[in-house]
Structure 1
Amino acid sequence: MTRIAPLAKPYPEEFDARMKVLMRGAEPLVLFTTLATNERAWTKFSGGSLLDKGSPLSMRVREIVIDRTCAKCANEYEWGIHVAGFAPHIALTDDQIRATVLGDASDPAWTDPAEAVLIATVDALIDRKKLSDAEWSALRAAYDEPQVIEIIQLVGFYHGVSLICGALDLPLEATAARFPAA
């Protein structure tokens, strides 16, 4: 049982129209219907999304950052949604999916040094809330300034999403992936 009852059908017209586009015919996520019980919270949350097509990041880079951030924050809810929805489209291997949860930047699953930098960046930001000069240099060597800013924003946004999911104790979506066993 959720801590805050999500919206029930019929949804408000504006929310329903947005969900039809965003969810492409699937039912809205419990996260969305729960936040939408507070119009201001929903507007701020949905306005902060970085999943639009104008991103300077490839979908693969974006999803690695999101998956690692959610995993580091023990947010199986959002991690599972993103892995189920995007991993097949970005050629994330089973070893890489596992490494987002159980590995680190040195995991052999990360054969691309730029992707290992993403994992190290997320870990530093979640663990210490900052990047050392060496971590900053590695990030800047792999990604340009607009990409770096968006990577940092993604970590911050999905850290916030993780706090929301944890506080609301949302039930896992039926179609979402589950964390791999240790």
Structure 2
Amino acid sequence: MTRITPLAKPFPPEFDARMKALMRGAEPLVLFTTLATNERAWTKFSGGSLLDKGSPLSMRQREIVIDRTTAKCGNEYEWGVHIAGFAPHVGMDAAQIYATVHGVADDPVWSPEEAVLIATVDALLGHKKLTEAEWSALKAHYDDPQALEIVQLVGFYHGVSLICGALDLPLETNAARFPAAKGD
């Protein structure tokens, strides 16, 4: 049972048009249909999204940050949606997907630039800021617009994780599931 009943079809025209463009023929995510029950919540949420084409990060960099953030927040819902929808398109292999959930920054599956992304997510979620050393490591690979986008992605998807957890959203049927830890 959902905590807030999602919108049902027929959707309001503006939301329906947005979903047709965003979802490219697939059914809207329950996260979207639930938030859209409140126009203000939906407008603020969709206005804060960083999935547009104007990102200073590559799609792969963006997805590594999102996947690690949602995994560290225990948000299987959003992690699974992103892994299913984007991992194949950004060249993430099974070892990298596993490492977004169970790995560490210095796992050999990551390039030095990607390891910094993992370390930055972990630092921000772990102690809510970056030390001078952590900021310097980030800036060794990313310019100011990229660094700011990385921090914003972590913040936004931390918020998405809180929303998904509070609403106890059911997992999407076509989404990935967290991999079991090795040895389980």
Query: How high is the TM-score relative to the length of structure 2?
Result: 0.98
Q: Report the equivalent of 2:9.
A: 9
Q: Report the equivalent of 1:48.
A: 48
User: Separation in 1 of the partners of 2:162 and 2:52?
Assistant: 22
| Secondary structure at 1:74 match in 2 | coil
Q: Report the equivalent of 1:115.
A: 114
1:20 equivalent to 2:54? Answer: no
Deviation string 1:78-109 (CA, Å, 9 cap, x unpaired) is 00000000000000010000000000101121
Q: How do 1:36-75 and structure 2 match up within 5 A?
A: 36-75=36-75
CA RMSD of superposed structures (Å): 0.4
Q: Report the equivalent of 1:137.
A: 136
* Structure 1 residues without counterparts, runs of 5 or longer: none
Q: How do 1:85-96 and structure 2 match up within 5 A?
A: 85-96=85-96
1:128 equivalent to 2:122? Answer: no
1:164 equivalent to 2:163? Answer: yes
User: Separation in 1 of the partners of 2:131 and 2:104?
Assistant: 17
Equivalent pairs, count? 181
User: Separation in 1 of the partners of 2:68 and 2:145?
Assistant: 20
Query: How high is the TM-score relative to the length of structure 1?
Result: 0.99
Runs of 4+ aligned residues of structure 1 deviating over 3 Å after TM superposition are none
Q: Report the equivalent of 2:97.
A: 97
